[in-house]
Structure 1
Amino acid sequence: MLWARRATPLAKPRAPAGAVWGWARWAVSGANSGQPSPESGANSKYRETVLLPRSRFPAQLPGRMQPEAEVEIQQKCGFSELYSWQRQRKTKNEFCLHDGPPYANGDPHVGHALNKILKDITNRFHMMRGYKVHYVPGWDCHGLPIELKAMSEFKEAQKMSAMEIRQRAKEFAERAIEKQKSAFIRWGIMADWANCYHTFDGKYEAKQLGIFHKMYDKGYIYQDYKPVFWSPSANTAVAEAELEYNQQHVSRSVYIKFPLLKSPPKLASTLAGSSTVNLLIWTTQPWTIPANEAICYMPDSEYSIVKCANTGECYILAANRVDSTAAILDTQFEVISTCKGVDLENGSCAHPTVPGRESPFLPANHVTMAKGTGLVHTAPAHGMEDYSVASHHQLPLNCVVDESGVFTEAAGSELQNKAVLEEGNEAVIQMLQAAKCLLKEEKYVHSYPYDWRTKKPVIIRASKQWFVNTANIKATAQEVLKKVKFIPASAMNRMLEMLDRRTYWCISRQRSWGVPIPVFYHKTTGESLINSEIIENVIKIVEQHGSDAWWTLPVDQLLPREVATKVGSHDVLDYIPGQDVLDIWFDSGTSWAHVLEGADQRADLYLEGKDQLGGWFQSSLLTSVATRKKAPYKTLVIHGFTLGEKGEKMSKSIGNVVDPDVVINGGQDHSKEPPYGADVLRWWVAESNVFTEVLIGPVVLSAAKDDLNKLRNTLRFMLGNLAGFNPETDSIPSSEMYVIDQYMLHLLQDYANKITEAYKEYDYCKVIRLLQAFHARDLSNFYFSIIKDRLYCEEEKDPKRRSCQTALAQAFDVVVRSFAPVLPHLAEEVFQYLPYKKERESVFRSGWINTSSVWKKPGLEEVVEAACAMRGSFLGSIGGKNPLEHELVIVIEPGLLFELMETLQAEETSSVSQLNEIMMASQTTLLSELPVEMATNEKSIKGTFLINLEGGDIREESSYTVIVLPAAKEKCLRCRKNTAHSPLSLCPRCTEVIAGKWSI
C-alpha cells in the first residue's frame, strides 16, 4: 500500500490483535508492558459498559485437541459427502484434474502429502468458484516392487506359481491402498473414496489392452532383439523412467589398445614403415569388450598419429585428447601426423581378447571429445548408440550375458558363469593384461543408472522384447506438447528434450504381476503369434474375468481355433501364452482412457512431481498421441521433491524422515513431536515454493503452527467484535461508512482479486504471502489498532460502530474464503462460531469470495494514505510510547491535501473525528497555518505528500507539519483517552454513551 511506502513504518501494537479479551488488558493496551495494572474502583465501575470482544472460538487448540477437533469437523461438516454434492450441481462449467496414481507398495509419506494436498487445494478452489470438479483418485498396482515385497513375506517364494505370486501381490497392494486412502481422507482430500480406479481392475485392464490394440493396429508396437536397460538384480528389462542415477558410482575404467589390422587407405602411406600401430580406447565398462564389433570415430574431428616415448609404439587418438591422455598414461606422445576422422574410413583393428575377430572403423555422431580418446569401443549388444551403428552397418548383435547379468557359455570358458559387474569385469581386465593390451586401469567416479526398486546397478543388454516405436510418434507428440501450458514454463523444454532422446520404448517385463502382452509363441519354433482378432478376444476375456484369466484359462479359450487356423497352424495346442507383462508405465499411461469422461477425454490438469516428465506425463502423452493425435491434458503443473529442512535427502539413518501421521497426531514424546493436525501439514504445502525442492522438518512445522495461531487470533478478534451484529439488518451502506472502513473494503477487493489470480496460476505460495500480509499487516497491525476504541466504547448500535462491524463482517468472510482451499478444517471450524449464522452453513457449499465494485472508490486511497503518512510521522516520533498520552496539531498549507483532511475532520479540534481516530491520539487539531503562540520547544515533524488523482491528471505535492504535544486533559476512566475534564470523570463521548443506562 502507498502508506507503507511513503510513511514511517507503523508502530507495532502494544498487545496482539484479537488478544484483548479482558477489561484490565484492554485498559492498558497502550502501555509498554503486556501485564495488566491493578484496577481502581472507578475502572471496574465502567467495565460492563465497554463492549469487549465476545467469542467462544479458541485462540489455540493445544495438544491432542487440534487433531481431535479436525476429525470432529470432518464429520460435522460433511467432508465425505462434499465431492458427491458438488457433482450433482447443475452447472456447465467443469474442471477435471486427473489423478496420477501413487504406487501401492508402501505407507503414506510426505511426498504423498505434498502431491495430494496440492491437488486438493486446486479442486476446492475450483469447486468454490462454481465449477463441477471431476477428480477420481487412483492407484498404480502392478509391477516389480509390489511383486518382490509380496514374495519376501514367504520363505518358499521361488517355488510359487505365477498365480500364487499374483494373488499375494494383489493382497499386498490392496493393504497399501487402504493405508494410503485412510491417510488421504484424514488430510482432508475431497473425493468419492468409494469409487477410485485401480490398475488391477478388470475393466481398467481391458481399456489398457484396447489402447495396446489400437497402437498395434497402427504399427507402433513391434517385437525386436535390441539392447535395453536390464536389471540383473531383478531379472527384468526396465524403462528409463525406472532408473535413478547414482552420482558416486565407482567404475573400473581402462585404457586399452586395439592393434591396427588393416590401414585406412588414406593413411596407408603415412603409416607405412611404422612397426606397431594401435587405436587407443578408453571405457568404463571393461566387461563389454568381449562383445566389441567396431571402433567408432567422429568424421569431422581431428585425429593424430602419435609415437609413445616409453614404448616406441604408435597410437591413433583424437588430436585434442593427446596431451591429457599422455599425462594420464604417464608418458609423452610425439605427434607424427594429423588427419581428419573421415580419413580413418575402411580401416580395421584386431580384437584384443577374441582371436580372429576384426573390428572395423566406423563413423558415428555420438562420439564425444569431452572424455576418453575420441575413439569409442562399440558393443552393439550393450549400448543404444552402438546398436544404431550396428543396425546401419549390419554388424552382428551377439549378447553373451544372460538375464542374471552373468556371462554365458558363448563368452568362453574363462568368462562363463561370472557376473559381469563383479568377477566377470575382473576376468576381462585380466585377459586384457595377459594380451598386453591394457595400458592403465583406474577408478572412475561418475553418474551411473541404478534400478530404482532394488537400488543396484543396471546394465544394457540385448534381448527380445516388445517395443513402442516412439521415433514415429515423437514429432507429433512434441508439436502437441507445445500447445500444453506448463507451470513452471521451463519444464516444457525439459520434457521436449526427453522426448527427443527417446527412439523406442521397451514395454515388456519378465514378471508375473501385471497385464499380459496378448501374444502366443510356438512351442517348437518360438515364433510369435499376435493379431487384431487375438487381441480383441483377450480384451473380452479380461473385461469379464480380469487378467488372471491369462494364467488360469486353457489356451484354446485364450486363442480361438479359427484364429490359429487362419495363420496356418494345425493346432492351438502348438502354442503357449507369452509370459511377459506390460510395463507399468504403459499401465498408468493409459489411465486417461479409463478415467476421463466425454468424447474429448482430456483433463484440464495433470499435477505431479518433476520425475513424471519422463514418466507418467510422457507415457500418457505417447499413448494418447499414438491413438488419437492429441494430449490427454491441457495444463501440466510440476512440483519438486521433499527434502529435510537442511536440504538433505530424507533417510532413516540420518533420522530426518517426517511421517505425516506423526505430524498430525504427534509422536510418542509430544514434547519432541507435538500433534499439529492436518491443517499445519496443508499450510506447509501451500507456503512452500513447490516448484523447487520442498523442505520439511521440526523447525518448519513449528513455524507453520505459529503462523496458524496468529491467523486464529486475527479471526478471533473479528468474531468477538461481531457479537450482536447481523449483516442483514445492521449493515451500513458503504457510502455512509467511516472513510477508514470504506478503505478497508477497498483493500479487501484488491486482496480478493490478487488471491484469486494466485490460485488460478497455482501459485499457492503467493496465496499464503498475500494472506499473511493482509491479516497481519492490513488488519491486525493497522485497521484493528485504529478501530478498537470505536468498537469498544461507542454505543452498541451506534452507526459509527456498525460501520466498522460492517467492514469486519466483510473482511471475515473474504479472509475465511480466501484460505478455505488451503485450510478447510479451520475454515469450517471458524464458520461455526459466526454469531449471525442462522444455520451452520459450510464455507465450501456457499461459494467463493464475493466483493462489490462500489468498494473501489476514486480518491479514497489518497485520503487515507495521506492521513497514514502523518500518522506514521507521529508514531515514529514517540518511540513506542502510548499515543493516547499525546495530542496533535497538524498544519497543512491551503490546497488539495488540506481539503482531503477536512473530509476526515470538519471542525478545527476534535477527539472523536475520523482523522483523530486514524492518528490514534487523544485529540487532533487541523490548521492551515502554524499558530503564532506555538512554543518553539514542542516536537515538530515536517513532511510532504504527493497527491496523484485521476490517473495522474491531478498531481500536487503538499507539505505538512505534525506538532506533538503532551495531552492537556485527564485520562477518561472508561475509554482511557486523555479527554476527560477531571481525573474522576468521563470524557464527553463516554458520558453520552452511558447516559440513561445507570446513574454515575
Structure 2
Amino acid sequence: SCRSGPPRVPGRATDFLKVQRPTCDNLGVFLLSLQKCGFSELYSWQRQRKTKQEFCLHDGPPYANGDPHVGHALNKILKDITNRFYMMRGYKVHYVPGWDCHGLPIELKALSEVKGAENLSPMEIRQRAREFAEKAIEKQKSAFIRWGVMADWANCYRTFDPKYEANQLRVFYKMYDKGFIYQDYKPVFWSPSAKTALAEAELEYNEQHVSRSVYMKFPLLKSPPKLTSVIDGSSPASVLVWTTQPWTVPANQAVCYMPDSAYSVVKCTTTGEHFILAADRVESTAAVLDMQFEVMSTCKGVDLADGSCAHPTIPGRVSPLLPANHVTMAKGTGLVHTAPAHGMEDYSVASHHQLPTDCLVDEGGFFTEAAGPELQNKNVLEEGNEAVIQMLQAAGSLLKEEKYVHSYPYDWRTKKPMIIRASKQWFVNTASVKATAQEVLKKVKVVPTSAVNRMLEMLDRRTFWCISRQRCWGVPIPVFYQKNTGESLINRHMEAGVLPAKCGLLILWQEISDNSSYRLPSDDSVLHGSGSSAAQELISGKYFFFKGAEQRADTYLEGKDQLGGWFQSSLLTSVAARKKAPYKTLVVHGFTLGEKGEKMSKSIGNVVDPDVVINGGEDHTRDPPYGADVLRWWVAESNVFTEVLVGPVVLNAARDDINKLRNTLRFMLGNMAGFNPETDSIPASEMYIVDQYMLHLLQDYGSKVTEAYKEYDYSKVVRLLQAFCSRNLSNFYFSIIKDRLYCEEEKDPKRRSCQTVLAEALDIVVRSFAPILPHLAEEVFQHLPYKKGKGVFRTGWINASSAWKKPGIEEAIEGACAMRDSFLGSISGKNALEYEVIIVIEPGLLFELMEALQAEETSSVSQLNEIMMASQTTLLSELPKETPTDANIIKGTFLINLEGGDIREESSYKVIALPIAKAKCPRCRRYTSDSTSTPCPRCLKVMAGKGSV
C-alpha cells in the first residue's frame, strides 16, 4: 500500500481509536454505553411505535432447573439476533421470555440436597420445587440480559403462574370435550430410576448400550396344520426366538411371525431336533448357535397359523403363533417373542387377539409378587434379568446368551435405562389429529428444510401421546378419583370449580384434597406445560397482542430435540384445539459440543460456562474475559443447523475476528472527523468511478445480507461481512484512497467523495452486524460526530439506494484491478510508489473504459493511477518505440461482459513497470517531486490553499 498509519485529521471521532477492548467489555464503560443508547429501554420503545407490522417470536420456555449454560446462550442469542433484525426493519417485535417451571428435572434438583426427601409430603415437595424454580429463573434471567437479549423482561411468563395454570386446564377440558383426551391401560416408556412415564421426546439413546441377548426355544405344543407332514411328532420341535430383553419372557403371551415372509423347518444334524425360523435367517442363526441345520421344508408365514407353543419358563401356559406386520428379518430368527405389557406392537397384537396384558413389573422396575417367588422384588434390568436367564437354562430352553451392543433409550434426566411398561395413563389420541397436523405442517416454513421430514416421520409414528407423569411437581390432570374405589370423575362442569384463580394450584389442590371424599392425582401433565403455551396464550391475549383470527406466532426457534417435543406438542395441541398451526416458521438448531465434537462433561473438563466466557475465570491467563459480543459472534458464525462446537480455540478465533472488524471500523470512523453527510456528501454522479463502484458493492452487500437474515442464515451474514470488510474495504478500497484522504485539501471534492463512501459504508456495515454485535454497533454510533446520540437500533435497517446499482461499472474497475495485479506481481512486493506503470491496450471497449479513468495520456493524480497505486500511470494504445529492450512486459486479457452477455469482448493488454526517475515528495511520499526537499506540485497547491504545511 502507498501509506499506513492513523489519519492526519484529528477530532472527536478519533476517541474511538483510544478505546482499548482487547478481550472484554470494560464493565464501567460498557454500562455507561448502554445507558447512553437506552439499551435496556429498547424493547418498550419499539413496542410503542405506531406500525401495523408485527413480528412474534414465541419463546420456547427453558426448564428453570439450574444455572444458565452454553446451550441457553446458543438459543437465546439466536432469538435475539432474529428479533433485532425485524425490529430494525420496522416491525413491532413481540418477545416475552418464559420458563417451564414444572416437571421432573426441577423436582429432582430441588430434592437432591434434601435429607429425608422421601418423607416429604406432596405439598412440601411442591413448595421446595417452586422455590428452587424461582431462584433458577432469576439466575437465568440475569444472564440472558447480560448477553444483550432484548425482551419484555417485566412481563415474563412462568408456567406456575395461576392464570397460566388456569389456561392450561381450560385447554385440557376443551380437548377432553372434543374426545382427544382419554385414560387407558397400555405400554408406555417408563423410567424406573424416576418412577414415571416419559414421552419419546424425553428420551435419549445410548448407542453403546450392552444387552444380554438370548436365543431360546419355545417347544411346539400344536404343530401348524399345514406342517404336520414335516413335523410329525417323531422328534422334538420348537420355534427359535431371539430377544435382547430376557426379563420380559415371564410376560410372554405369544410368538409372532410375518405372514408374507418365508419360513423354514430345519433339522439340527447333531440333536435331531426340528426348529422353525425365517428362511433368510437359517444360515446366520446356525453360525451363531454353532449348529448345522438341514432344511426340511420351506413355507410362507401364513402356514404357521393355528400353531402354538409351550411357554419356556411357566408350565401350563400356552403361547400361540400369531401373524404381525412388525416382525422384521434384519436380526434374530424372524420369530418375535411377544410380551404385551412391554412392547407397543406386542400390545396391539394382544388387543387384537384378546390376550392378557398383565404387567409383572412395578414402578421402580422390580418384579411384583405376580411374577412368582423366584423373581419377586428383583430389578428387571439387573438381578431379575439374570434370574430369568437362569430359569431358561434350567428349563432347557436357553440355546445361547451373548452380549449385544445396540441403541437403547435412556431417561435424559437421570441418564439411566428405560423400560416399556404397561400402566394406566392419560393420553391424547393423536391418531385422530395427526393427519391434519401433517398437512398443516407442510404449509409451515421449516429451516433447515430437512427438519420437516424428520418431524413428519415422528408424527406418523405417533398414534397416541402419553401426557401424564407420576410426579408431585406439576399441573395435576384435573380429574378426581374416589378415595375408596379409585373411580375417576371428570366433566365440563368441574372446570369452574377446579380452575385456580389468584391462589394458584398449590393452595387450591390442598383445599380440595382436605375437604372432599375424592382425591386428585399426583400426575404432572406435559400437555399443560410448555406444550400448550401457544394455544392458550394466543387465545387469552395476556402475552400476545395479536388481533383477529390469525393468532399465530411468526417463528418458533429451538433445538432439534424439540422436533419430537415442544414443536410437536404445540402443533398437536393447537390443531386439536383450533385446527391450525401455532407458528408460521420453525427454525431448528443443533446442540453444543466441545470443539473436537465431543459432548461437554465436567469429568472431561470441557464444559464452557457463558459467565466465564464473558467475565473470565479465576485465572485470566487460562480463562480470559471475552465479553458478550464474542459469545454472540460465536453463535452467529456457527453453522447452527448442525452440531455447534465451542471451546478455547473457537472463542479465541471469534475474538480475533471481532478485533479485525474493529480495525476496519476504526479506519472509517477515524476519517469521519470534520465530515457531515448532510452538508458535505458528494452526489454519486459526481464521484470518482471507484467510489461509485464501492456504492455499487455496498448496495449488493446490503441486499445479500438482508436475504441471509430473512433465511435465518446468520453464519452467511458473518461470511458476507468478513468478505466485504476484508476484500472490498481493507485490502482494496482503503489501500487506494489513503492518498486522497491524507493529502488532498480537507474539503476537496475528491476527498469528500471517498468520505461520502466511507460514511455510507460505515453506516451499512454497522447496521448489518448490529443484530449480532449490538454492543459494538451502539459503541460505534456513540462515537459518530454527526449522529447526535441516536442509537443504531432506533434509526432503522440498511438504507442502500437502488440507484447505486450500476452493473457496467464493475467492468471498468475490475479491468483496472486485473492490470494492477499484473503490475504488482511484476515488482515482487516492492514499493509500488517507486515505479511508473505503462498500460498498453488495443483499441476497443477496455481502452475506452480505462480512458474514463484517465483522460490524459500520463498522470500522477488520475483515478486510474489511484487504482494502480503507482506514482505515475501512462495509458497507450500501442507499445511506445522507446521501450527499453530489457523491460519486463506482462501480457494479459480481460473479458468484458455487459447487458447479460449481449456485449462480450475480450481485450488484450500489456503492463510495463519502470523505475520512476522523479524524487520522493516529503509530504505525500509519492515519487512526483523534482527534489526530495520540495513538495510535489499537487502538495504545493494544497499547502498554498491551507497557508501552511
Shift of 1:14: 8.0
Q: 1:158 aligns with which of 118, 136, 144?
A: 118
Instruction: Name the structure 2 match of 1:27.
Output: none
User: Structure 2 CA distance, aligned partners of 1:74 and 1:314?
Assistant: 82
Q: 2:97 aligns with which of 137, 158, 165?
A: 137
User: Structure 2 CA distance, aligned partners of 1:556 and 1:882?
Assistant: 92
Instruction: Name the structure 1 match of 2:735.
Output: 785
1:934 aligns with 2:857: no
Counting matched residue pairs gives 942
1:672 aligns with 2:672: no
Shift of 1:872: 1.1
Greater mean deviation of Cα atoms: 828-837 or 632-641: 828-837
Instruction: Name the structure 2 match of 1:40.
Output: none
Q: For the aligned residues, what is the CA RMSD?
A: 1.7
1:546 aligns with 2:504: yes
Instruction: Name the structure 1 match of 2:604.
Output: 654
Residues 718-742 of structure 1: CA deviation (Å, up to 9, x unaligned): 0111111111111111111111111
Q: 1:429 to 1:752 in 2, by over 3 A?
A: same
1:577 aligns with 2:520: yes
User: Structure 1 CA distance, aligned partners of 2:565 and 2:824?
Assistant: 58
Instruction: Name the structure 1 match of 2:579.
Output: 629
- Local SS of the residue matching 1:955: strand
User: Structure 2 CA distance, aligned partners of 1:51 and 1:216?
Assistant: 71
- Local SS of the residue matching 1:548: helix
8 Å CA contact 2:186, 2:347 repeated in 1 = yes
- Local SS of the residue matching 1:98: coil
Instruction: Name the structure 2 match of 1:880.
Output: 829
**AA aligned opposite 1:824:** P
Q: 1:770 to 1:703 in 2, by over 3 A?
A: same
Instruction: Name the structure 2 match of 1:725.
Output: 675
Shift of 1:465: 0.8
8 Å CA contact 1:51, 1:793 repeated in 2 = no
8 Å CA contact 2:184, 2:425 repeated in 1 = yes
**AA aligned opposite 1:682:** R
1:183 aligns with 2:143: yes
1:803 aligns with 2:788: no
Instruction: Name the structure 1 match of 2:208.
Output: 248
1:148 aligns with 2:97: no
Instruction: Name the structure 1 match of 2:848.
Output: 899
Shift of 1:822: 0.3
8 Å CA contact 1:223, 1:464 repeated in 2 = yes
Q: 1:502 to 1:551 in 2, by over 3 A?
A: same
Instruction: Name the structure 2 match of 1:25.
Output: none
Shift of 1:417: 1.0
Shift of 1:858: 4.6
Shift of 1:537: 2.4
1:108 aligns with 2:50: no
Instruction: Name the structure 1 match of 2:708.
Output: 758
Residues 284-305 of structure 1: CA deviation (Å, up to 9, x unaligned): 1111111000000000001011
8 Å CA contact 1:208, 1:587 repeated in 2 = no
User: Structure 2 CA distance, aligned partners of 1:639 and 1:179?
Assistant: 24
1:416 aligns with 2:383: no
User: Structure 1 CA distance, aligned partners of 2:164 and 2:290?
Assistant: 62
1:217 aligns with 2:177: yes
8 Å CA contact 1:590, 1:623 repeated in 2 = no
1:378 aligns with 2:338: yes
Instruction: Name the structure 2 match of 1:890.
Output: 839
8 Å CA contact 1:21, 1:53 repeated in 2 = no
Shift of 1:264: 1.1
1:99 aligns with 2:84: no
After superposition, residues 256-295 of structure 1 pair within 5 angstroms as 256-295=216-255
**AA aligned opposite 2:431:** A
User: Structure 1 CA distance, aligned partners of 2:753 and 2:948?
Assistant: 29
Instruction: Name the structure 2 match of 1:496.
Output: 456
Q: 1:255 to 1:616 in 2, by over 3 A?
A: same
8 Å CA contact 2:9, 2:673 repeated in 1 = no
Q: 1:337 aligns with which of 291, 297, 318?
A: 297
1:960 aligns with 2:945: no
Residues 20-60 of structure 1: CA deviation (Å, up to 9, x unaligned): 127xxxxxxxxxxxxxxxxxxxxxxxxx8999994433474
Instruction: Name the structure 2 match of 1:194.
Output: 154
Instruction: Name the structure 2 match of 1:442.
Output: 402
Q: 1:692 aligns with which of 636, 642, 645?
A: 642
Greater mean deviation of Cα atoms: 236-245 or 119-128: 236-245
Instruction: Name the structure 2 match of 1:537.
Output: 497
8 Å CA contact 1:163, 1:551 repeated in 2 = no
User: Structure 1 CA distance, aligned partners of 2:529 and 2:232?
Assistant: 57
User: Structure 2 CA distance, aligned partners of 1:787 and 1:913?
Assistant: 12
8 Å CA contact 1:523, 1:576 repeated in 2 = yes
Q: 2:189 aligns with which of 229, 245, 264?
A: 229
When normalised by structure 1's length, the TM-score is 0.92
Instruction: Name the structure 2 match of 1:43.
Output: none
Q: 1:445 to 1:255 in 2, by over 3 A?
A: same
Q: 1:340 to 1:746 in 2, by over 3 A?
A: same
Q: 1:328 to 1:870 in 2, by over 3 A?
A: same
1:951 aligns with 2:900: yes
Residues 415-455 of structure 1: CA deviation (Å, up to 9, x unaligned): 11111111111111111111111111111111111111111
User: Structure 2 CA distance, aligned partners of 1:202 and 1:314?
Assistant: 67
Q: Which structure 2 segments of 5+ residues have no match?
A: 538-542
Instruction: Name the structure 1 match of 2:324.
Output: 364
User: Structure 2 CA distance, aligned partners of 1:70 and 1:181?
Assistant: 19
1:588 aligns with 2:531: yes
Residues 241-298 of structure 1: CA deviation (Å, up to 9, x unaligned): 1111111111111111111001111112221143200011111111111100000000
User: Structure 2 CA distance, aligned partners of 1:587 and 1:737?
Assistant: 57
When normalised by structure 2's length, the TM-score is 0.97
8 Å CA contact 2:594, 2:607 repeated in 1 = yes
- Local SS of the residue matching 2:127: helix
**AA aligned opposite 1:832:** Q
Residues 620-673 of structure 1: CA deviation (Å, up to 9, x unaligned): 001001111111001101000111111111111111111111110011111111
**AA aligned opposite 2:511:** L
Instruction: Name the structure 2 match of 1:610.
Output: 560
Shift of 1:544: 3.3
User: Structure 1 CA distance, aligned partners of 2:106 and 2:502?
Assistant: 24
Q: 1:758 to 1:65 in 2, by over 3 A?
A: closer
User: Structure 2 CA distance, aligned partners of 1:60 and 1:773?
Assistant: 25
Shift of 1:908: 1.1
- Local SS of the residue matching 1:112: helix
User: Structure 2 CA distance, aligned partners of 1:970 and 1:576?
Assistant: 101
Q: 1:829 aligns with which of 762, 765, 779?
A: 779
Shift of 1:682: 0.5
User: Structure 1 CA distance, aligned partners of 2:528 and 2:207?
Assistant: 25
- Local SS of the residue matching 1:894: coil
8 Å CA contact 1:162, 1:551 repeated in 2 = no
- Local SS of the residue matching 1:104: coil
Shift of 1:68: 4.8
Shift of 1:547: 1.2
1:748 aligns with 2:748: no
User: Structure 1 CA distance, aligned partners of 2:207 and 2:313?
Assistant: 31
Q: 1:81 aligns with which of 41, 51, 66?
A: 41
Instruction: Name the structure 1 match of 2:540.
Output: none
8 Å CA contact 1:93, 1:131 repeated in 2 = yes
Residues 882-915 of structure 1: CA deviation (Å, up to 9, x unaligned): 1000001111122222111111111111101111
Q: 1:590 to 1:142 in 2, by over 3 A?
A: same
Q: 1:740 to 1:55 in 2, by over 3 A?
A: farther
Instruction: Name the structure 1 match of 2:820.
Output: 871
Instruction: Name the structure 2 match of 1:856.
Output: 805
**AA aligned opposite 2:669:** L
